[in-house]
Amino acid sequence: DLLRGDLTIDPDQNPDHLCTVRGWVRTKREGKEIAFLEVNDGSSLQGLQIVLSPTLDDYEALIKQINTGVSIAATGKLVASTGKGQKVEMQAREITVFGTADPETYPLQKKRHSIEFLRTIAHLRPRTNMFGAVFRVRNACAFAVHQFFQERGFLWVHTPIITASDCEGAGEMFGVTTLDLQKLGLAGKPVDYSQDFFGKPAFLTVSGQLEAEIMATAFSNVYTFGPTFRAENSNTSRHLAEFWMIEPEVAFCDLEGDADLAEDFLKYIFNYVLKTCPEDMEFFQERVNDQVMVNARKIIDEQFERISYTEAIAILEKCDKKFEFPVSWGLDLQSEHERFLAEEYFRKPVIVMDYPLGIKAFYMRVNDDTASDRQTVRAMDILAPGVGEIIGGSQREERLDLLEARIRSVGLNPEDYWWYLDLRRYGTVPHAGFGLGFERLVQFITGMGNIRDVIPFPRFPQSAEF
Ligand code: ATP
Ligand code: MG
Ligand code: MG
Ligand code: MG
């Protein structure tokens, strides 16, 4: 707050009020008599201007030592600033240097660096304005996720990271192995990864949904928020091998109720971020995408569009746009189709409902009233401008016989799902939920083009070593 200038201490009234700031020097400007530093501690975009004058001990040596990247503590008086760009500045009385940074080698110099270059130094990019803003907004989103659900009485449940089931059936799982390197005589040597999880197959979770259903059929309203893994051997701007997913699961709820919850949720998060991170959002507007604020207001103020999959196909078939991938009833929508609907056709988020049974997972509730050659399930995807699919959800099949038949028809063994079927065998209820990729949400809010730039340590096929 000091940096924003909402100073409750009036500098003129408190001539001896000393403050200390600790942080990293962003810039140094040397004048004839005095020098100016901008020090940033990560709490906001703007750093604090520190004025150094020759009355300081060892002034000459100090100025020489302090460069961009140096970590310091500065103690002094806060005074109203006469310079442009800040309301207050500090007149330093004492400076402590914790760590120097050689200007010849420190990669983050004063100039603007490309986002591609910054991706190669993921360990230093949090010190830039761009990534400062991204990770503060990411934090605000995470807090708002919990606040939204907790205010509505949802229980945060922790589903396992290590699991035996491929919830999505997409075969994008990483395996878990048991390695006793000492015993194998492999300590320090290359390893054979053919071992498994104590004699049983196990994988890193691709979704906590099935387990969340267990909790929802006891606590009614639950949500998960945790790391998720998919062996996506592709290089898109929207997929990571490790990402965070938010998965609410609601008992006594149908697909319409599920869509209402998702829409309320997105509006809530946008509202929260606009309120708590106005400067960071302005930064994205100026530096990343000049539609960021317009989009945010639209998300909050306007109702999302709701259409059926069949209507979506009709729109895509009728439009003049040339697509790379075919459009035809029964085929899944590709990212280019999703983005066309959200960005060009409706110009707002679109909730697409009732997808063909053939392209969706086994647990989705079958619509009874559809013709047998055009059978649909109670699935929804929410398509967002700039991102494409941001949410995938469905009403779950709660009827034991139909679920068992679906499990068989996709080639799975109902015996492996005995516990999942038990939820239908004993006290079954209509229920629904959705999965939202947390990084896609942060992309959506900030306007950042690449998902690798909204997570501190992105994991993808060629990701960095740490
Ligand atoms: P896509 O079609 O984009 O590959 P999906 O349909 O495979 O997504 P779901 O299984 O529906 O994804 O997962 C729910 C949500 O999780 C998605 O809507 C998306 O927001 C997010 N998500 C899925 N895969 C990834 C990934 N590899 N990286 C980041 N987020 C992801
Ligand atoms: Mg996918
Ligand atoms: Mg999809
Ligand atoms: Mg999906």
Verify that 297 and 433 share a domain, yes or no.
Answer: yes
183 CA → ligand 2 middle, Å: 38
pLDDT at 75: 95
Q: Kindly state whether residue 4 falls inside one of the protein's structural domains.
A: no
Distance CA(137)–CA(277), nearest Å, equals 7
Verify that 71 and 148 share a domain, yes or no.
Answer: no
Verify that 24 and 104 share a domain, yes or no.
Answer: yes
Instruction: Give the pair of three-digit tokens for residue 68.
Output: 């961009």
Minimal-distance CA residue to ligand 1 atom 3: 389
Residue 65 has pLDDT above 50, yes or no: yes
Q: Is 242 in the pocket of ligand 1 (CB under 6 A)?
A: no
Verify that 405 and 359 share a domain, yes or no.
Answer: yes
- Band of the pLDDT at 462, cuts 50, 70, 90? confident
Of the candidates 100, 340, 386, 63, the residue with the CA atom closest to the CA atom of residue 238: 386
- Band of the pLDDT at 128, cuts 50, 70, 90? very high
- Band of the pLDDT at 8, cuts 50, 70, 90? very low
At 67, the amino acid letter reads N
pLDDT at 165: 77
DSSP structural state of residue 429: -
pLDDT at 7: 43
DSSP structural state of residue 95: E
Q: Kindly state whether residue 461 falls inside one of the protein's structural domains.
A: no
Of the candidates 43, 112, 122, 108, the residue with the CA atom closest to the CA atom of residue 70: 108
Taking residues 397-425, report their average pLDDT. 96
pLDDT at 196: 75
Q: Kindly state whether residue 356 falls inside one of the protein's structural domains.
A: yes
- Band of the pLDDT at 134, cuts 50, 70, 90? very high
pLDDT at 95: 96
Stated length of the chain: 466
Verify that 142 and 105 share a domain, yes or no.
Answer: no
Q: Which residue has the higher pLDDT, 108 or 82?
A: 108
User: What is the three-class DSSP state of 200?
Assistant: strand
User: What is the three-class DSSP state of 6?
Assistant: coil
Q: Which residue has the higher pLDDT, 182 or 257?
A: 257
Minimal-distance CA residue to ligand 1 atom 16: 437
Q: Kindly state whether residue 67 falls inside one of the protein's structural domains.
A: yes
pLDDT at 4: 47
Nearest listed ligand to the Cα of residue 332: 3
pLDDT at 6: 43
DSSP structural state of residue 113: P
Instruction: Give the pair of three-digit tokens for residue 195.
Output: 């071992």
Percent of the chain whose predicted confidence (pLDDT) is above 70: 93
Strands (E) in 297-411, as ranges, are 305-308, 350-356, 376-384, 388-395
Supply φ then ψ for residue 359, to 5 degrees. -110, 10
Cα-based angle 454, 46, 116 (whole degrees, multiple of 5): 35
pLDDT at 77: 92
In the chain, what is the greatest distance between 2 CA atoms, to the nearest angstrom? 87
User: Which residues form the domain of 205?
Assistant: 126-453
Instruction: Give the pair of three-digit tokens for residue 175.
Output: 């395996």
Contact 223, 157 (CB under 8 A): yes
Contact 17, 76 (CB under 8 A): no
Verify that 144 and 255 share a domain, yes or no.
Answer: yes
User: How are the residues of the chain apportioned to helix, strand and coil, as percentages rounded to the nearest 5?
Assistant: 35, 25, 45
Verify that 56 and 140 share a domain, yes or no.
Answer: no
Q: Kindly state whether residue 464 falls inside one of the protein's structural domains.
A: no
Of 77, 109, 141, which marks where a domain is finished?
109
pLDDT, tens digit (0-9, with 9 covering 90-100), for 358-377 = 999 999 999 987 777 899 99
Verify that 22 and 87 share a domain, yes or no.
Answer: yes
Minimal-distance CA residue to ligand 1 atom 5: 392
Q: Kindly state whether residue 433 falls inside one of the protein's structural domains.
A: yes
Residue 228's CATH number: 3.30.930.10
Number of domains in the chain: 2
Of 109, 140, 169, which marks where a domain is finished?
109
Verify that 66 and 194 share a domain, yes or no.
Answer: no
Contact 438, 252 (CB under 8 A): no
Match 């460069």 to its residue by tokens.
67
Other CB atoms within 10 A of residue 305 CB = 16
pLDDT at 143: 98
> Which residues on neighbouring strands pair with residue 99, listed in sequence order?
71
Q: Kindly state whether residue 421 falls inside one of the protein's structural domains.
A: yes
Q: Which residue has the higher pLDDT, 193 or 124?
A: 124
Out of 174, 235, 238, 390, give the residue to mutate to test ligand 1, the one with the largest number of ligand atoms within 8 Å of its CB.
238
Residue 1 has pLDDT above 50, yes or no: no
Phi-psi map region of 153: left, alpha, beta (phi>0 left; psi -120 to 50 alpha): left
pLDDT at 464: 61
Q: Kindly state whether residue 466 falls inside one of the protein's structural domains.
A: no
Taking residues 240-261, report their average pLDDT. 98
Out of 440, 448, 453, give the residue to mutate to test ligand 1, the one with the largest number of ligand atoms within 8 Å of its CB.
440
Taking residues 255-279, report their average pLDDT. 98
Verify that 231 and 274 share a domain, yes or no.
Answer: yes
Q: Which residue has the higher pLDDT, 172 or 148?
A: 148
* Residue 280: C-alpha distances to residues 21, 81, 277, 315, 443 (Å): 21, 23, 5, 37, 14
Taking residues 299-319, report their average pLDDT. 97
Instruction: Give the pair of three-digit tokens for residue 15.
Output: 């001539």
Residue 189 has pLDDT above 90, yes or no: no
Contact 349, 385 (CB under 8 A): yes
Verify that 82 and 138 share a domain, yes or no.
Answer: no
Q: Is 243 in the pocket of ligand 1 (CB under 6 A)?
A: yes
pLDDT at 191: 55
Of 109, 144, 174, which marks where a domain is finished?
109
How distant is the alpha carbon of residue 98 from its chain centre? 33
User: What integer best gives the mean pLDDT of the chain?
Assistant: 92
Residue 68's CATH number: 2.40.50.140
Verify that 264 and 136 share a domain, yes or no.
Answer: yes
Write the DSSP string, 209-250.
Answer: HHHHHHHHHHHSEEEEEEEEE----S--SS--SEEEEEEEEE
Minimal-distance CA residue to ligand 1 atom 2: 389
171 CA → ligand 2 middle, Å: 10
437 CA → ligand 1 middle, Å: 6
Q: Is 392 in the pocket of ligand 1 (CB under 6 A)?
A: yes
Minimal-distance CA residue to ligand 1 atom 9: 392
